[in-house]
Amino acid sequence: PWLRVRQVAVHGTERLTAAGFRTVLGRQVGAPILLVDLDRVRAELAKSPGVLAAKVARRLPDTLEALVTERRALARAALGGRLVLIDAEGMVFSSLRALPADARLPEIRGLSTLPGAPRLNAQ
């Protein structure tokens, strides 16, 4: 029973909520900590459009820990009737938590996205 995942921890979230990341990590609770596929868990965490990068580590004896690096918004826009943020790579993402600095971001108008893609098109 020892060396099994009993706890999960998430760090680095400001715009996104840690709850969704805890759910992903929580699927490993009860698994032998040394057998957890950290790359697979990291890849699953990194699927969120608001995530630039994620790292997952074991903290023996019983904790999986994730460090999330969120995308940094450089501009905002309205797409499909909702406010979205845009980073330096042109990645469009939404924020679960508005930050006070969001109101000072430049607003881009007249944008459209490619069907099924979260990046802006060349137009």
Can you give the pLDDT at residue 72? 93
Q: What is the CA radius of gyration of the chain?
A: 17
Q: Which residues pair with 10 in a beta bridge?
A: 66
Pairing of strands 75-79, 82-86: antiparallel
- 75-106: per-residue pLDDT in tens? 999 887 788 899 998 888 887 788 889 889 99
What distance in Å separates the CA atoms of residue 86 and residue 41, rounded to the nearest whole number? 26
Q: Give the chain's mean pLDDT.
A: 88
pLDDT of residue 123: 42
For residue 49, the SS3 value is: coil
Check whether 117 has a pLDDT greater than 70: no
Each residue's pLDDT tens digit, 36-57: 999 999 999 999 888 999 999 9
pLDDT value, residue 113: 61
Query: What's the sign of the alpha-carbon dihedral 13, 16, 17, 23?
Result: negative
What does DSSP assign to residue 88?
T
DSSP state of 100: G
Amino acid at 26: G
Q: Tell whether the model's pLDDT for residue 120 goes beyond 70.
A: no
pLDDT for 122 equals 43
